[in-house]
A and B are shown apart, each in its own frame.
Chain A
Amino acid sequence: MTSAAIPAPPRPARGPAALAAKLFGSPLNVVLTLAVAWAAWSLAAPLVRWAVLDAAVLPAEPAACRDISGACWSFVVAKSGQILFGIYPIEERWRPTLVCAVLLALLAYSLRPAAWRPRLAALWAAALPGVLLLMFGGFAGLSYVATTMWGGLPVTLILTVTAIGGAFPLAILLALGRRADLPVIRTLCVLFIEITRAMPLLSLLFIASIMLPLLLPEPLLPDKFFRAMIALLLFAAAYLAEVIRGGLQALPRGQAEAARALGLGYWGVQRFVVLPQALALVIPSLTNTIIVMIKNTSLVLVVGLFDLISSGRAALADPEWSSPAMETYIFIASVYFALCFGFGRFARALERRAETTP
């Protein structure tokens, strides 16, 4: 080697000084920076004034909100029980509270990859009937509470967990079935996916709540709550199946061939070679679909189930208060945000984990 080593180009500078240089480096940048800062301030200032400076939080009674120009958080504090748990009997509220705590704790626990063992599935299989029994009661001195009295966060959580938890395995089977060798299986899967996907979720929920009772005899008819749950599950499964099929198609054929050539059977090929790679490829779109489905659970209000939004609206009907709708919806939105953002972060972590496997 005769040529002298050429140094690599310097890395772009970072830190406050570099940032200041970027923001105020030229007259144009100074103007732009000031203009954006002014716009941000003029938007944020009234919001901060309304939400914090002029707002009432305590005491949690109607009088607190009478002479204020800001947000009436007192209402949310006073009504949080009703918004979160709907018309579930007040003296029994510890039951939905416990249900939410159990479900949220189990969700948080399930997010850790270290927990992904067969035991976790068993834990969920035990927890779901457990929380439903606790919600229903009617045993061991617990009063019976019909699903028509359920509401708020436990309804949203139970619907989300069962609809998405049940839809995911079904979606995998549908996606595999759509690529199966047997024409019967393929046709059935295509029909299910295309029909379910072509229907608005609202009409699917109406069919489940209004038309099914006309078609099925009373003893065979599941409770309205479970009919809505199944409708959500089937709807989510059709969408997730197509996302998963995208991953299956993106995977080179050689992967499944190599696994088959080693003597693995169909399910072994899918479980150990195809699905781990195909699912990792579509994590971003899976996340997207699942977040949409979490929010879709709020549509059960059209068939008379009390999810978070409908119990919030019910709370607003109290004539004692000046119906602070904005505050209530911000509170509900923040609950959904926590659920969806939490799931989004989890999915991002999963994605990074998959990326470390080049």
Chain B
Amino acid sequence: MTRETPSPAELAVEVRDLHKWYGEFHALRGVELAVAPGERIVVCGPSGSGKSTLIRCINQLERHHGGIVRVNGLEATAEPRRLEAIRRAAGMVFQSFNLFPHLSVLENCTLAPVRTGTATRAEAEAHAMALLARVRVADQAHKRPGQLSGGQQQRVAIARALCMRPKIMLFDEPTSALDPEMVKEVLDTMIELAGEGMTMLAVTHEMGFARQVADRVVFMDQGQIVESGAPGDFFAHPQHERTRAFLGQLLH
């Protein structure tokens, strides 16, 4: 699939020469990534390869030490207002759901829109109920997260992120903590979201999902992007030995 290269201002995410250290450990070594609006990218790679660190640097849950991160045209600086704006533009779904256990499902969804002043309570509740219906958990809206199954909780987490009307959705291994029978319901929700044109950047090992929805698959190892390509090419003709080794382990 070929696209015209959009100018930086039009990119949903732009990462240039990104470096990140944890103490002495060089976790990201000059990562370059551009995500166009509407594009769907799957990031895969062995554990410790820096894929989670990469998306956590994109919404600035982790500060980077070198290079440039731009989300929706906003460059990440240390300025708190700027960081908040970037995080509103980039919705995040975590491996461990991280729903707020002291709030109802509906309150989980309305907390941020109401408290950041992007919506009135009535608007936020109407929007949240519509999104909860879309991820098929509207009937659970007044329960606490602890009363829901893992799959339901992760779908609530997706709805909660969507409540901030993000320009891009980041997924950090969204199905890795789920019981096997619940993986599909979460993937189906993500596939629907992709079908609606949402820009997505997902760290996942669900290669079926990658084949079905990704425009591009990015393979990372040792803090670098080793190769990337359209899923057809990527899975059929991996260029690098490390990619082949990784895919070989995955497909067995």
Cross-chain contact A265 with B80 (CB below 8 angstroms): yes
Contact of A263 (CB < 8 Å), options: B99, B116, B157: B116
Chain B contacts for A358, CB-based, 8 A: 101, 144, 146-147
Q: Mark B88-102, 1 if CB is under 8 A from A, else 0.
A: 101110101011111
Specify the chain A residue showing the minimal Cβ separation from B84: A263
User: How long is the Cα–Cα vector from A357 to B143 in the complex, in angstroms?
Assistant: 10
Cα of A280 to Cα of B88 in the assembled complex, Å: 28
Q: Give the most central of A260, A263, A268, A357: most B CB within 10 Å.
A: A263
Interface residues on B, range: 20 to 34
Q: Is B64 an interface residue (CB 8 A)?
A: no
Which residues of B in the span 61-87 have a Cβ within 8 Å of any Cβ on A? Answer: 61, 80, 84-85, 87
Is A262's beta carbon under 8 Å from chain B?
A: yes
Known contacts A257-B61, A258-B100: does B164 contact A263 (CB below 8 Å)? Answer: yes
Cα distance A190–B115 in the bound complex, in angstroms: 31
Contact flag A263-B112 (CB < 8 Å), given A254-B96, A257-B94, A357-B144 = yes
Contact string, A244-261, partner B, CB cutoff 8 A, digits 1/0? 000000001011011111
Asked if B199 CB lies within 8 Å of chain A CBs, one says: no
Per a CB cutoff under 8 Å, which of A260, A268, A276, A357 touches B115? A268
Contact (Cβ within 8 A) A277 B116: no
B59 within 8 A of partner (CB): yes
Is A350 on the interface with B (CB-CB < 8 A)?
A: no
A153-208 at interface with B (beta carbon < 8 Å)? none
Judged by a CB distance under 8 angstroms, whether A139 is at the interface is no
Interface residues of B in 48-65 (CB under 8 A from A): 59, 61
In whole angstroms, what is the CA distance A119 to B144 when docked?
Answer: 28
Give A139 Cβ to nearest chain B Cβ, in Å: 43
Nearest Cβ on chain A to B249's Cβ, whole angstroms? 28
Are B116's CB and A268's CB within 8 A? yes
Across-interface contacts of B88 in A (CB, < 8 A): 262-263
The complex places the Cα of A258 from the Cα of B108 at a distance, in Å, of 11
Chain A residues near B (Cβ < 8 Å): 252, 254-255, 257-266, 268, 272-273, 276-277, 280, 354, 357-358
Given A258-B157, A280-B102, A357-B101, 11 new contacts (CB under 8 A): A254-B96, A259-B100, A262-B116, A262-B164, A263-B88, A264-B116, A265-B80, A265-B116, A266-B80, A357-B146, A358-B144
Q: List 5 A-B contacts (CB under 8 A).
A: A255-B100, A258-B99, A262-B112, A263-B164, A265-B80
